[in-house]
Amino acid sequence: GSLDGERYSLLKNGSLQIHKVEMEDMGQYKCLANNSEGTASLTTELFIKDSTRIVEPPQDMKVKRGSMAELECQVEAGDPVDERWDEYPLKRL
What integer pLDDT is reported at residue 91 of this predicted model?
Answer: 53
Q: Is the pTM of this model over 0.85?
A: no
What integer pLDDT is reported at residue 26 of this predicted model?
Answer: 92
What integer pLDDT is reported at residue 17 of this predicted model?
Answer: 94
What integer pLDDT is reported at residue 40 of this predicted model?
Answer: 95
What integer pLDDT is reported at residue 66 of this predicted model?
Answer: 93
**Residues of the chain scoring pLDDT < 70:** 1-2, 83, 87-93
Q: How far apart are CA 29 and CA 59, in angstroms?
A: 44
1-10, long-range: CB < 8 A, 24+ apart: 1/27
